Amino acid sequence: KNLLEIDARISVCRACPRLVEWRERSAETKRASFANQPYWGRPITGFGADFPKLLIMGLAPAANGGNRTGRMFTGDQAGDWLFRALHRAGLATRAEVEHAADGQKLFGVRMFSAVRCAPPENKPSIEERDCCAGWLDAELARLLPFARAVVALGGFGWDAILGAVRRSGGTVPTPKPKFGHGAVAVLSTADGKPLNVIGCYHPSQQNTFTGRLTEKMLDDVLSRGQELAGL
């Protein structure tokens, strides 16, 4: 399957009853500040280049962010942080993102999440993560031949990419490398190419408001990812 076909299939998936209910209820009730806007209310596909060297692995869309706009990291503060950093690194055309048709483009980068539907309290269950892993595997099967590095956002993203590479027939060092901001794990893909995974604190408000993640820290990780990806 090509990426467009995978995206089309993801966008109509209803495999997780709790998440389907939550994504649709959030789209009906809407946050007051977005009351006049249409909500997407469906799964969110990957976004970016078709033949990327650098991947960005996220957790799941936010109920009033990606679940509203229909595009990853678009419409919430975490996404604003990430896209601004990608723009500073020369990897995105726009510093500010507004909606799914704002013309944003990524260069050599593709982002996607471990879970494609917005979960209550941003916390998918283990069963939901495992249920969505099939989409991650399908997308990675198309991307791993080109990818040389992955920025994993948070411990959830880190575990998701390590698990997916292992399922694809690649090699993950033992003992399993631990997530940390700036930590680098060197994996190899099924065809024997090195794949560097770089840990990064998730740019959620919880981390950015408290100063646990600063813009400089995010810039440094992206720059390392860029270097390891050869971008």
State the pairing for strand pair 149-153/47-48: unpaired
Report the distance separating Cα 70 and Cα 84, nearest Å. 19
At 186, the amino acid letter reads: V
What does the block give as tokens for 125? 């269950």
Report the distance separating Cα 24 and Cα 42, nearest Å. 7
**CB 66 to ligand SF4: min, Å:** 12
Angle at 140 between CA 139 and CA 144, to 5 degrees: 140
Q: Which of residues 98-137 bind ligand SF4 (CB under 6 A)?
A: 115-117, 128, 131-132, 135
Q: Which is nearer to ligand SF4, 43 or 75 (CB)?
A: 43
Report the first-to-last Cα separation within the chain, whole angstroms.
27
Listed ranges 6-14, 49-57, 70-78, 150-158: which one lies at the site for ligand SF4 (CB under 6 A): 6-14
Q: Which is nearer to ligand SF4, 13 or 190 (CB)?
A: 13
Does 43 contact ligand SF4 by CB under 6 A?
Answer: yes
Does 6 contact ligand SF4 by CB under 6 A?
Answer: no
Burial class of residue 159 (count of CB atoms within 10 Å of its CB; 0-12, 13-18, 19+)? middle
Does 185 contact ligand SF4 by CB under 6 A?
Answer: no
Q: Which is nearer to ligand SF4, 67 or 207 (CB)?
A: 67
Q: Which positions from 137 to 176 touch ligand SF4 by CB under 6 A, shown as an x/- string?
A: ----------------------------------------
Q: Which of residues 7-26 bind ligand SF4 (CB under 6 A)?
A: 10, 13-16, 19-20
Q: Which is nearer to ligand SF4, 132 or 152 (CB)?
A: 132
Sheet holding 54-58, edge to edge: 47-48, 109-113, 54-58, 149-153, 194-200, 184-188
Contacts to ligand SF4 by CB under 6 A = 10, 13-16, 19-20, 43, 115-117, 128, 131-132, 135
